[in-house]
Chain A
């Protein structure tokens, strides 16, 4: 089943002044359950592609279909709701809410979804358990290591029961051990729960574990291989 489909995605920054072509006609299809890495050198356009797929940015030309829904046709408010309910995000620098505990950070999105408290409590506990930090659930981000924070971020991304998770350089700030642990967790979730993961990365450890590697250079897909 095609989960993400892009047709001729082109993104031009500063079109009227000094145009920068970040993406040039990217066509891509990602199926449900894939564990995909988008790789490429800095400035190649991988983060831009991820932002457009995630509905955080809008392309200059082209279409993005998520489960058949054309993101370009959604209003800003609809897009916010779409992101809340369909997409999980993991950011490079974790971006947890510093005044919330790990559990509150994970449950926060479910509160936005207006889920009942009991359901939130159960799911938060299960998610934190699945990423191996249920014992840290009452700690705030500043009381946790970078690896632990990124695991909370993964749990948070999964809290809303999204269709797929977008992770922008998730291991960039992590040491080897934390990177391996995080990749184990995500691969495990991919296998057990058929959760689709799309990473942007230039970390070889992530590339080695990805099932599919899409390489972008100068805003164009130059290779698309299965590992």
Chain B
């Protein structure tokens, strides 16, 4: 084997340009896959983090009927006590409870349908990121009555500004229309246009009074410390409140999981396409290497190198090319990812509105799981191996007596031979 490796290693440097082209293709391919995977991961994390911070939290508790029909009557009783119980569970980072109701928001200029979320301001600070997304005015305070936080987009559509008055209209428990006037004390912008246009925040006390559900609420939102503990904590809460519906963020927003899987699938498809392109590149290069050395291969076989060794020589040559290229590609990928992981990539530079529409942050921070590096090493090795099989097979098909003169069986010749062989076999069977 040592001799095979030695001869293969030297052979790959016989035509430096050609070898560098293959090495370059592998390096660029590995680098681009690492970068793509890191981008994809960064985007997924950004998207999910945004959704968890602003909308869904890690776990939510609802009345079982509330998710189908968001009527005020499907509330959770004594919600503050339940919040305290959940808060005591190990692994839970923060808990808040809310009243959620569909309503109409109107200004003197316009009106629109919206979801009003009634929160306990100090609790919500720990669970939701809205307080950090205030672009004008202030966050809700516990002391003042009838304050409202609206998004920048809603403010624009209602043509209101800070200190303007808006009216929220909704149905109470008796299905009677009730309304309250609220003053805009803050304007937020989460970066997710769809979400921003669909919610407003008020104090839970205020909205509960209007809905006449004091002491109750519709939703308990929970943040946990470690994502891997998600399911165990969910199970624990479910056991504590058997009559309530406890769901994790993937169940609350299945599109998050779908998005995650779709974008990962896109990454895999890209990797497969690259590997296929690489296989053809390797086949092409190694075929050239074989055809260029027909006479030499003929000599090797003439003097006693058996077919297995000739086959191995071509395979090892190809794998050595991958071994040279892979560390360079991995290193470049690592360097690039590390740089952007530290400094971030400004997605809004590309398409601010589009990205906001989909709920992405301005900056994403690419990162690559360590597994990806190993997967790439294996994938490139397998690709190199597969790419070398056809040229190696062509090499062992050479007949020494012809190869030594520099001639070899052409593909057409092989097809004719195969056809003749099959025809003779069929004739034999027929007769």
User: Known contacts A80-B301, A84-B303, A111-B3: does B11 contact A99 (CB below 8 Å)?
Assistant: yes
In the complex with contacts A95-B296, A95-B299, A98-B296, A160-B304 CB distance below 8 A: yes
The verdict on A81 contacting chain B, using a C-beta distance below 8 Å, is yes
Over the window 53-67 of chain A, the binary record of Cβ atoms lying under 8 Å from chain B Cβ atoms (1 yes, 0 no) is 010110000000000
Question: Could you tell me the distance between the alpha carbons of A113 and B298 in the complex, rounded to whole angstroms?
Answer: 18
Instruction: Give every chain A residue within 8 A of B304 (Cβ-Cβ).
Output: 80-81, 83-85, 109, 112-113, 160
Pair B303/A89 contact, Cβ less than 8 Å = yes
Q: Which residue of A lies closest to B295 (CB)?
A: A95
Over the window 10-53 of chain B, the binary record of Cβ atoms lying under 8 Å from chain A Cβ atoms (1 yes, 0 no) is: 11011000000000000000000000000000000000000000
Q: Write the chain A residue with the least CB distance to B4.
A: A111
A89 pairs with B302, CB closer than 8 A: yes
State which of A81, A83, A85, A108 has its C-beta within 8 Å of the C-beta of B302: A83
Residue-wise interface mask of A (86-119) relative to B, using a CB-CB cutoff of 8 A (1 in contact, 0 not): 0001010101011110000000110111000000
Most buried by B among A51, A81, A95, A111: A95
**Which of A97, A109, A160 neighbours the largest number of chain B CB atoms within 10 Å of its CB?**
A97
A204 in contact (CB, < 8 A): no
Q: How large is the interface on A (under 10, 10 to 19, 20 to 34, 35 or more residues)?
A: 20 to 34
B305 within 8 A of A: yes
Shortest distance between the CB of A189 and any CB in chain B (Å): 18
Give A100 to B9 CA distance when docked, in angstroms: 11
Query: Would you call B306 and A80 a contact (CB within 8 A)?
Result: yes
- Assess whether B303 is in contact with A100, with CB atoms less than 8 Å apart: no
Q: Which of B286-306 contact A (CB under 8 A)?
A: 295-296, 298-306
Q: Does A227 contact B (CB under 8 A)?
A: no
Kindly state whether residue A77 has any CB partner on chain B within 8 Å.
yes
In the assembled complex, the Cα of A27 lies from the Cα of B10 at a distance in Å of: 45
Interface size, chain B (Cβ < 8 Å): 22
Residues of A within 8 A of B309 (CB): 112
Complexed CA–CA distance, A97 and B305 (Å):
13
Q: Which residue of B lies closest to A54 (CB)?
A: B302
Q: Known interface pairs A83-B304, A84-B304, A95-B404. Does A100 touch B299 (Cβ–Cβ under 8 Å)? A: no
State how many angstroms separate the Cβ of A146 from the closest Cβ of chain B: 15
Q: Is the CB of B10 within 8 A of A100?
A: yes
- Contact present for B306 and A56 (CB under 8 Å): no
| B7 / chain A contacts, CB cutoff of 8 Å | 97, 99-100
Q: Is the CB of A56 within 8 A of B404?
A: yes
Given contacts A51-B401, A91-B404, A111-B3, A99 and B10 within 8 Å (CB-CB): yes
Residues of B close to A81: CB separation below 8 A: 304, 306
Query: B191 in the interface, Cβ–Cβ < 8 Å?
Result: no
- Which residues of A lie under 8 Å from residue B186 when comparing CB positions? none
> What separation, in Å, do the CA atoms of A80 and B399 have in the docked complex?
12
Does B359 belong to the interface (CB within 8 Å)?
no
Max chain A C-beta neighbours (<10 A), residue from B14, B295, B305, B307: B305
Chain A positions within 8 Å of B400 at CB level: 56
Contacts of B302 in A (CB 8 A): 54, 56, 83, 89, 91
- Give chain A nearest CB distance to B400 CB in angstroms: 5
State how many angstroms separate the Cβ of A47 from the closest Cβ of chain B.
Answer: 9
Report Cα–Cα, A97/B295, bound state, in Å. 10
Residues of B with C-beta under 8 A to A91: 299, 302, 404
Which residues of the other chain, B, contact A98 by a CB distance below 8 angstroms?
Answer: 14, 296
The answer for the CA separation of A80 and B10 in the assembled complex, in Å, is 25
Instruction: List 18 contacting pairs A-B, 8 Å CB cutoff, sorted by A.
Output: A56-B404, A77-B306, A77-B307, A81-B304, A81-B306, A89-B299, A91-B302, A93-B295, A95-B404, A97-B299, A99-B11, A99-B14, A100-B10, A109-B304, A111-B3, A112-B3, A112-B304, A160-B304
Residues of A within 8 A of B (CB): 51, 54, 56-57, 77, 80-81, 83-85, 89, 91, 93, 95, 97-100, 108-109, 111-113, 156, 160
The 10 closest A-B pairs by CB, nearest first: A84-B304, A99-B10, A95-B299, A56-B401, A57-B401, A111-B3, A80-B306, A51-B401, A83-B304, A56-B400
Q: Beyond A57-B401, A99-B7, A113-B304: 13 further Cβ-contacts under 8 Å?
A: A56-B404, A83-B304, A84-B303, A89-B303, A91-B299, A91-B404, A97-B296, A97-B300, A109-B304, A111-B3, A112-B3, A112-B304, A112-B305
